[in-house]
Structure 1
Amino acid sequence: MAEPFKNLLNAAVVADMSDRLRKAWPRFDAKRFETLALDGLDELEMKARAMHLCTALEGTLPGDFKLSADILRKAIEGGLAKWALWPVGEYVSRHGLGHPDRALEVLHALTQNFTAEWAIRPFILQHPELTFATLARWVADPSEHVRRLVSEGSRPRLPWGLQLKPLIADPTPTLPLLEALMDDDSDYVRKSVANHLNDIAKDHPHLVADWLDKHLPGASAKRKALLRHASRTLIKKGDARVLGAFGQGAKFKGEAVLSLSPRRIRLGDSVTLDVLLTPAGRKNQSLVIDYAVHHVKANGGTSPKVFKGWTLDLAAPRALRRQHAVKPITTRKYFSGVHRIELLINGRVEAHADFALTC
């Protein structure tokens, strides 16, 4: 059995933190830190462990944040790294807002050894002018980790992170940063830019469609891949402008048949989708084929969820097959009833079929 994720923050990590902090500041009370950090640690889950270790830092670092910032930077330079830096980042985000210049210096060092994507977000909210000016400089930083932080830390809807509601409402302050990083040499950075644009697409699809109009013509293969990944939510939704930008917005010309087997399943089983596409004529058609499962809800209504299918060019009849598992997951509760599956071709419903689920 795999080691539980939460155990990445354990007694050995606490001992290492204690040692490196004491070396950075000989007056550091290592014994007290370890006592506070280990008290109840094993009973906590991952994020709670990080917050718990931050509380231990609060109980042992000096109250003067400028001094604490110097200690933390020295400890990072001395080898403090990886998951031990999550509580350090939390400490900086809690106590550095009164000294944002010094705090951002610590996060610059921290992110090169872990990530400061969660810790920087309060500074974007509380000190937007200073923080965005800093991010604008960091787009040219030699470290790919710092450049990624520019994009990842300012994502409006970062998983596990504080939502940046002003940027959800108006994401335009981040667009110059994304434009500067869009053709970055690092896959790591470009993936973050794509995810950031996909965040924006959830609230402002027209901005991403405008972005494609501007940046897709004549794009390199790497940029095209980034833009396609950035558009994944809108492609799933069948956004006409976005599909059109990729040459896949035209209505399918031909016949599509969707068959399901078996037609009755129990929770934990799979249903097989068989698709037969018969184009009208021999002219090649560029197609994005997804499918929407309309899950039954507790009140008897349904809620659709789109799943990726196939992307292909079609000039002759073709059969496709896909198995769809209906298994318990933490993010969805299933209910018995008739579930409809719709076949989406270039964003339009072209066929549908039903299956019955018993939970």
Structure 2
Amino acid sequence: MAEPFKNLINAEVVRLMRHHLQRAWPGFDGARFAALAGHGLESMELKARAQHLCAALEATLPADFAAAADVIEASLAPTPGDEALPALRAGEHGLAGWAVWPLAEFVARRGLAAPERALQVLHAITQRFTAEWALRPFIVAHPVLAFETLHRWSRDPSPHVRRLASEGSRPRLPWGMQLKGLIADPSPTLPLLAALQDDESEYVRRSVANHLNDIAKDHPALVAEWLETHLPEATAERRALLRHASRTLIKRGDARVLKAWGLGRRFAGEATLAVSPKRVVLGGAVELRLTLHSTAKRTQKLAIDYAVHHVKADGRASAKVFKGWVLELAPGQTRELIKRHSMRPVTTRRYHAGRHVVDLRINGEVRAEAAFDLKL
């Protein structure tokens, strides 16, 4: 069985934080930090562990934020260059990886009154872990300074810093506080995305795609216009970014977005969908078997997704759209497609027994459906 994700912040991380913070500041009360940080740690989930260690830092780092910022920066490992952040770990060389999350949380809590110095620390932190969650309170409390800084960061030599300019300002960042002002009006971030969408780093471009997908959930017309402007004559790298940015609107069958990708025409032909087995136990899987037959006189470009209508506790159904296929179907061609859909339990969804309808969507239009019964 895989190691629980929460164990990424553990007693060894506490030991290394104590060691390097004491190295950076001999006055650091390492014994007290270790006692506070270790108390009850094993019973907590991952995010709670980061917040718990942050509280221990608040009790032991200097009360003066500038002094605390100096200690934090001195405790960090050397910058890793282009190495992927998820691979970084704290060690004898200094703090990096998951040990840095509590430090970023500390900056977010204690640095709002000294935003210039706090943003300097986040610039250093994001090259050893990520400061995407810690940055967000500064965007809310100090938007002018924050966006001036983000525009500067979008030209930084470090891909980790450039990525932060996009990732940290995403309106609906997972695990982060929602930026309600940017949900209502995302225009302040658009110049950043334009500057970064052709970044040399795929890591940065993926963040831009996710940011645009966030915007699409609230402002579909804006993202459709972005595609109409930036997709023609795009490089292969930009096309891949824009395809990922379009995923929510393609699943929704947005007419402008489908048209931008050459998927706006209604499917001319027949589609049948079969699901087997007809009864499945939670933890199992069903097979979706789709048969397409074209009646068109020219090749059709098709985006095919499917929605599973999950039964809720009150008996109603809630549709979740899943990615299917993108393909070209020749005139008169018949093609069979098969996909396995898992009904394995996941933390983001609670399953309920009952009849689950599956509908097939071709270029945004529902063209076939089938069903299966789920048992718990």
TM bracket (short chain): over 0.9
Q: Distance in 2 between matches of 1:77 and 1:332?
A: 38
Amino acid at match of 1:345: I
Q: Distance in 2 between matches of 1:21 and 1:357?
A: 53
Matching residue of 2:19: 19
Q: Distance in 2 between matches of 1:71 and 1:332?
A: 42
Amino acid at match of 1:348: E
Matching residue of 2:355: 338
% of aligned pairs identical?
63
Does 1:48 pair with 2:51? Answer: no
Are residues 338 and 11 of structure 1, via their aligned partners in 2, closer, same or farther at CA, if it must alter by over 3 Å?
closer
TM-score normalised over the length of structure 2: 0.92
2:288 to 256, 264, 273: 273
Are residues 81 and 354 of structure 1, via their aligned partners in 2, closer, same or farther at CA, if it must alter by over 3 Å?
closer
Q: Distance in 2 between matches of 1:294 and 1:77?
A: 48
- Per-residue CA distance 1:148-178 (angstroms, 9 max, x = gap): 0000100111111111111111111001001
Does 1:120 pair with 2:118? Answer: no
- Per-residue CA distance 1:2-60 (angstroms, 9 max, x = gap): 32222222222222212211221222222222222222222222111111111111111
Which stretch of structure 1 is more off in the superposition, 258-267 or 318-327?
258-267
Q: Distance in 2 between matches of 1:77 and 1:327?
A: 39
Q: Distance in 2 between matches of 1:350 and 1:259?
A: 13
Amino acid at match of 1:71: V
Q: Distance in 2 between matches of 1:140 and 1:89?
A: 22
Deviation >4 Å, runs of 4+: none
Matching residue of 2:342: 325
Amino acid at match of 2:374: L
Which stretch of structure 1 is more off in the superposition, 63-72 or 118-127?
63-72
Q: Distance in 1 between matches of 2:110 and 2:10?
A: 24
Q: Distance in 2 between matches of 1:331 and 1:46?
A: 16
Does 1:162 pair with 2:181? Answer: no
Are residues 80 and 319 of structure 1, via their aligned partners in 2, closer, same or farther at CA, if it must alter by over 3 Å?
same
- Per-residue CA distance 1:83-108 (angstroms, 9 max, x = gap): 11101001100000000000000000
Superposed, which structure 2 residues align to 1:125-140 within 5 Å?
125-140=140-155
Matching residue of 1:243: 258
Aligned-partner SS, 1:67: helix
- Per-residue CA distance 1:173-196 (angstroms, 9 max, x = gap): 001001100000001100000011
Amino acid at match of 2:10: N
Give the root-mean-square deviation of aligned CA atoms.
1.5
TM-score normalised over the length of structure 1: 0.96
Superposed, which structure 2 residues align to 1:57-96 within 5 Å?
57-76=57-76, 79-96=94-111
Please, which runs of 5 or more residues in structure 1 have no aligned partner?
Answer: none
Aligned-partner SS, 2:177: coil
Does 1:31 pair with 2:31? Answer: yes
Contact kept, 8 Å, 2:77 with 2:128, in 1: the verdict is no
Aligned-partner SS, 1:175: helix
Contact kept, 8 Å, 2:104 with 2:122, in 1: the verdict is yes
Does 1:144 pair with 2:159? Answer: yes
Are residues 22 and 325 of structure 1, via their aligned partners in 2, closer, same or farther at CA, if it must alter by over 3 Å?
closer
- Per-residue CA distance 1:183-210 (angstroms, 9 max, x = gap): 0000110000001111111111111101
2:312 to 265, 278, 297: 297
Q: Distance in 1 between matches of 2:36 and 2:230?
A: 52
Q: Distance in 1 between matches of 2:374 and 2:25?
A: 62
Matching residue of 1:215: 230
Aligned-partner SS, 2:272: strand
Matching residue of 1:314: 329
Q: Distance in 2 between matches of 1:3 and 1:341?
A: 34
- Per-residue CA distance 1:119-152 (angstroms, 9 max, x = gap): 1100000000000000000111000000000001
Measure how far apart 1:282 and its partner are: 4.0
Q: Distance in 1 between matches of 2:314 and 2:7?
A: 40
Amino acid at match of 1:82: G
Matching residue of 1:3: 3
